[in-house]
Amino acid sequence: MRPPACRVLALMNETTAAAAGARPTPARHEPWWRNTLLGLGFCGPLLCLFAFLVLYPILYMIYMGMDREIYEDIFADPIFIQTLWNTVIFVGVAVNVKMLVALVLSALFNTDNRFARILSGLFLLPWAIPSLPGILAFRWMLNGQWGIVNKILNDLGFAGYPWLVRRPTAIAAAIVYHIWKYLPFWTLIFVAGRRSIPRELYEAGEIDGTTPLQRFRYITFPMLRNLFMICSLLSMVFTLGDFVIIKIMTGGAPGDSTHVLSTLAYRYTFLMGKLDWGVGTFVVALPVTLLFIFILIRWVR
Amino acid sequence: MRLRGWRKVAFYGVCIALLVWTVFPVYYMVMLSLVTWEDLFKPRLYVANPTFENYLQTFTQANYFVSQFWLQLYNSVSIALMTTAAVLVIGTLGSFALARISFRGSRTIQGLTLFTYIIPSSFLSIPFFKLMADYDLIGTKLSVVLVMITFASPYAVWILWDYGKTIPPDIDEAAMIDGAGPLAIFFRIYLPLILPPMVAIATYAFLFAWNEYLYAVLFLSGEKYITIPVAMGNFLATDDAPWNILMTVAVLYSIPPVIFYYCFRRHLVSGLVTGAVSGV
């Protein structure tokens, strides 16, 4: 045992080390297996979760999906092909537009303007409200006969449009809802990212007489690029599995032309009773998803 | 920064456009919950004849579509509370191991945690359905709770671990020298120190389960056993659904999350943001 004075010194040293991001020091004079047992013991519930509710279902799904015939069948189904395109459009457009707008808007909330500050409180509202109420409100607003959107268009002298009854506008509606709901969250993330950029960089930039656009191009964007890429990829993976937006907004209508992966798998499995087709739908998307996830895990660590 | 001329106009223009874009759907939702059945089909920007009849009908379960409102609310609350409790237990235990003990396999557990956090929950819906059917759990709250725990725990572990590793490790060592075992360190030192992020995590887990639709639809059926969002989805099964009552349920269902978000805004936002920003 060390004398108290040494302990205080060591404590100060190690506190600075810990503050500098060092890994916690292992308890000394303990056999390694004791720590291993202890660590695994505390992780016990988590490990059970992973084993029975993550790895087992995934392997089970891959096992169920190991039949060539499923893929011959579903790739012969035109609805499946259309669904793949829908998913690519939905994820690609919704996530990228949202992220770009969030990046730009984060500049607005990074100012010390009072109005912007009040707005940032209200701005969180779409994110706080659960998905279903928001989607239902959009659905009624876009209703061809009784929706407020067409009513406003009529009052302005334009013809109304059956938004949710035509494939392009129905998918666009889902995209608009996605942006409405998740824009606040990612904007906040980018505001936090902007706040972590040292102010001196901007001060130096101003002294050099750069325009705001140049400062964005040469200071903000390079500093936020990694954050932007990680957030975009993360949001893409999350959105790839989205079920509720399409299910509630369009239900796949008109004529099953607006499905995304998870709503189509739901239709195959629970409405048509073709469980293996449902599994196949997800298995087709699994390679891309797993690739994205592994890139993300590597980046984040 | 002072804005002048056209820049000022542009700045406030963007702010006002953003305000309308953000608030209008919410305003319209609340508005629809206050209109009569007849006014529902006369779209207006304001309520001509405001009425609380829809709320009254919902609270007294007077309408066919809300005949089990209170029971469904109870189902939603109990599923969310069970999830919260379990996520807190799993999250604190797991994060303690990752943050305070260095042991073999911890990197694998970190990887699995991230993996489970990122993978879209709907991708596992079919094997989960088979699994729950095999164990005869379809129709029980437990089935939904188990899935919610699975997808909410990784984030809890991640945030608590992130916070837990900033506590100097010497506090543990000093306690060990004084003869405290690992359990005593966990309960007496670790838990009190990570209380602030635990508040955020509890909120997160509660709302995660409260907002869930897919797994509740898959596993629960029957008016008396479903949760509020499933009941809302069921309105769409008919063409003559009373949308004013549907919007009333929507408003009532949105109130707890909105209160939670605004009460714990600082905790929740800082927790979520550090979680994402510290990853860079």
**Residue A28 located in a structural domain:** no
Residue listed under structure tokens 């600082």: B266
Task: Tell me, yes or no, whether B38 and B88 share the same domain.
Answer: no
Cβ neighbours of A12 in B, within 8 Å: none
- Lowest mean pLDDT segment, chosen from B27-36, B156-165, B221-230: B156-165
Return the CATH number at A135: 1.10.3720.10
Report CB contact under 8 Å: A54, B115. yes
CA distance B28 to A152: 13
Contact A126 B25 (CB under 8 A): yes
B76 and B194 inside one domain: yes
Q: Does the pLDDT value for residue B107 go beyond 70?
A: yes
At residue B3, φ and ψ (nearest 5 deg) are -100, 140
pLDDT value for B272: 52
- Are B208 and B101 members of one domain? yes
Tens digits of residue pLDDT in A68-100: 899 999 999 999 999 999 999 999 999 999 999
Q: What is the pLDDT of residue B271?
A: 53
Which chain A residues are closer than 8 Å to B226 by Cβ?
Answer: none
Spell out which residues of chain A touch residue B247, defining contact as CB-CB under 8 Å.
133, 136-137, 140
Q: Do B113 and A46 touch (CB under 8 A)?
A: yes
Instruction: State the CB neighbour count (10 A cutoff) for residue A23.
Output: 12
Residues of B within 8 A of A151 (CB-CB) are 43-44
Helices B195-211 and B69-100: angle between axes, nearest 10 degrees: 140
- Strand, coil or helix: what is B222? coil
Residues 6+ apart with CB under 8 A from B108: none
> Residue A281 is encoded by which pair of tokens?
């739908």
| Residue in the structure block whose two tokens are 């629809």 | B32
Backbone torsion region of residue A189, taken as left when φ is above 0, otherwise alpha when ψ lies between -120 and 50, otherwise beta: alpha
DSSP state of A24: P
Phi-psi category of residue B102: left, alpha or beta, with phi > 0 → left and psi -120 to 50 → alpha:
beta
Q: Which residues of A touch B169 (CB under 8 A)?
A: 14, 18, 24-25
Q: Least CA distance to A295: which residue of chain B?
A: B115
Element (H, E) at B8: helix B5-32
- Give the pLDDT means over successive 10-residue stretches in chain A (301 positions): 35 39 50 80 89 91 90 93 95 96 89 79 90 95 90 90 92 96 90 84 83 83 87 92 94 90 94 92 93 88 73
Q: Which residues of chain B neighbour A130 with C-beta distances below 8 Å? A: 207, 210-211, 229, 253-254, 257
Residue B75: per-residue pLDDT: 96
Quote the CA–CA distance of A263 and A250 in Å, as a whole number.
10
- Alpha carbons A252 and A170: distance in angstroms, whole number: 9
Q: What is the DSSP letter of A23?
A: P
**Which residues of chain B neighbour A23 with C-beta distances below 8 Å?**
102, 165
3-state secondary structure B21-57: HHHHHHHHHHHHCCCCCCHHHCCCCCCCCCCCHHHHH
Tell me which residue in B43, B118, B149 faces A293 most closely, judged by beta carbons: B118
More confident position, B267 or B243: B243
Q: If 0-12 CB within 10 Å is exposed, 13-18 middle and 19+ buried, where does residue B205 land?
A: buried
CB contact set of A32 (below 8 Å; sequence gap of 6+): B103, B104
Which alpha helices (H) appear in chain A, and where do they start and end? 4-19, 32-42, 44-50, 56-64, 68-75, 78-109, 114-123, 125-128, 131-141, 148-155, 167-195, 199-207, 212-215, 221-240, 244-249, 261-266, 275-300
Q: Is residue A256 part of a domain?
A: yes
Sequence-distant (6+) residues with CB within 8 A of A289 are: A237, A240, A241, B119, B120, B123
Q: pLDDT digits over A175-189, tens only? A: 999 999 999 989 988
Radius of gyration of chain B (CA): 23
CA dist., res. A204 & res. A198, Å (int) = 11
Asked whether residue A18 is domain-assigned, the answer is no
Supply the ipTM of this predicted assembly. Answer: 0.91
CA distance B168 to A13: 10
pLDDT, position B244: 92
Q: How confident is the model at residue B2 (pLDDT cuts 50, 70, 90)?
A: low
| CA nearest neighbour of A261 among A90, A136, A94 | A90
- Closest among B142, B161, B150 to B119, alpha carbons compared: B150
Q: Name the pLDDT band for B126 (thresholds 50, 70, 90).
A: very high
- Say what the pLDDT of residue A204 is: 85
- Determine whether the interchain pair B116/A57 forms a contact, defined as Cβ–Cβ distance below 8 Å: no
Cα–Cα distance for residue pair B37/B39, rounded to 1 Å: 6
> Residue B210's closest CA among B244, B259, B248?
B259
Residue A175 lies in a domain: yes
B27 and B77 inside one domain: no
Give the whole-angstrom CA distance, residue B143 versus residue B158.
Answer: 24
Cβ contact, residue pair A136, B100, below 8 Å: no
Question: Domain span at residue A112?
Answer: 77-300
CB A140, CB B243: distance < 8 Å = yes
Residues B28 and B131 in one domain: no
Cβ atoms of A232 and A295 closer than 8 Å: no
User: What's CA B82's distance to the chain center, in Å?
Assistant: 13
Average pLDDT along chain B? 88
Domains of chain B: total: 2
Asked, for residue A61, whether it belongs to a domain, the answer is no
Please state, in angstroms and rounded to a whole number, the distance separating the CA atoms of residues A284 and B199: 39
Mean pLDDT within B151-161: 91
Q: Are residues B86 and B55 in the same domain?
A: no
Same domain, B13 and B139: no
Residue A139 is assigned to a structural domain of this protein: yes
Query: Which residue type, as a one-letter code, is found at position A151?
Result: K
- Backbone φ, ψ for residue B102 (5° rounding): -100, 120
- Residue B92: is it exposed, middle or buried by C-beta count within 10 angstroms (0-12/13-18/19+)? buried
> Residue A17 is which amino acid?
A
- When scoring A7, A12, A50, A63 by the number of chain B Cβ atoms within 10 A, the one with the most, hence best to mutate, is A50
- Please give the full DSSP string across A25-81, using - where no structure is assigned: PPPSSS-HHHHHHHHHHHTHHHHHHHIIIIIHHHHHHHHHT--HHHHHHHHT-HHHH
**B213–A146: do the CB atoms touch at under 8 Å?**
no
The DSSP H or E segment spanning B141 is helix B141-164
Q: Is A191 helix (H, G, I), strand (E, B) or coil?
A: helix
Dihedral class, residue A84 (left if φ above 0, else alpha if ψ from -120 to 50, else beta): alpha
> pLDDT per residue over B66-100, tens digit each?
889 999 999 999 999 999 999 999 999 999 999 88
- Residue B153 has its nearest CB partner, among A39, A49, A296, at A49
The confidence score (pLDDT) of residue B267 equals 65
* CATH assignment at residue B128: 1.10.3720.10
Residue whose entry in the numeric block shows the structure tokens 């980046």: A299
Measured between CB atoms, which of B93, B243, B269 is closest to A42? Answer: B93
Residue A210 is assigned to a structural domain of this protein: yes
User: Does residue B115 share a domain with residue B41?
Assistant: no
B213 and B272 part of one domain? yes
Residue range of the domain that includes B112:
68-277
Nearest-CB residue to B120 (from A115, A231, A240): A240
Locate the chain A residue with the closest alpha carbon to B38: A146
The C-alpha torsion from A97 through A98 and A104 to A105, rounded to 10°, is 150
Query: What DSSP designation does A220 have?
Result: I
Token pair of B66 as six digits: 């809300």
Within 8 A of A40 by CB-CB distance, chain B residues are 97, 103, 105
Is B25–A299 a contact, with Cβ atoms under 8 angstroms apart?
no
For chain B positions 28-47, those within 8 Å of chain A (CB to CB) are 28-29, 32, 40-45
Find the residue in B nearest to A242 (Cα): B122
Per-residue model confidence (pLDDT) at position B159 = 87
**Neighbour tally for A214: CB within 10 Å:** 12
Number of domains in chain A: 1
pLDDT score for A1? 32
Q: Which residues 42-101 of B have a C-beta within 8 angstroms of A?
A: 42-45, 89-90, 93-94, 96-101
Tell me if A191 is assigned to some domain. Answer: yes
B162 and B96 together in one domain: yes
Amino acid identity of A167?
R
Instruction: Give B275's pLDDT tier (boundaries 50, 70, 90).
Output: low
Q: Could A40 and B93 be called an inter-chain contact, meaning their C-beta atoms sit closer than 8 Å?
A: no
> Which of A39, A50, A53 lies closest to B101 in CB terms?
A39
| C-alpha–C-alpha distance, residues B249 and A128, integer Å | 16
Give the C-alpha distances (Å, rounded to integers) separating B47 from A125, A152, B249, B251. Answer: 22, 16, 18, 16
